């Protein structure tokens, strides 16, 4: 009984979201902001155009940085095995 509990504790649960979830989320949100900043024809959104353009650049850059860091981490993990 005690051995079963210790073995169960040693097993790690798989994450609910994949390792690239944050990268994908930031990239999609950045694309949405880019659409609102450069491609929308809604006159009400013209007041927020600069804000959306700034956020688009920030989110897309953060998504790329997170993607590269996650990829490097996954490659390092595979090489240790």
Whether 74 contacts 19, CB under 8 Å:
yes
pLDDT digits (tens, 9 = 90+) for 26-60: 999 999 999 999 998 988 889 999 999 999 999 99
pTM passes above 0.95: no
Surface-to-core class of residue 40, CB atoms within 10 Å of its CB (0-12 exposed, 13-18 middle, 19+ buried): middle
Whether 27 contacts 60, CB under 8 Å:
yes
pLDDT of residue 61: 98
């Amino acid at each position: 009984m005690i051995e079963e509990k210790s073995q169960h504790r040693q097993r790690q649960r798989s994450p609910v979201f994949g390792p690239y979830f944050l990268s994908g989320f930031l990239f999609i949100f950045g694309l949405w902001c880019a659409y609102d900043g450069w491609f929308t024809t809604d006159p009400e959104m013209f007041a927020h155009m600069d804000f959306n353009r700034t956020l688009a650049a920030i989110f897309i850059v953060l998504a790329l940085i997170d993607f590269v860091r996650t990829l490097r981490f996954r490659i390092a993990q595979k090489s240790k095995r």
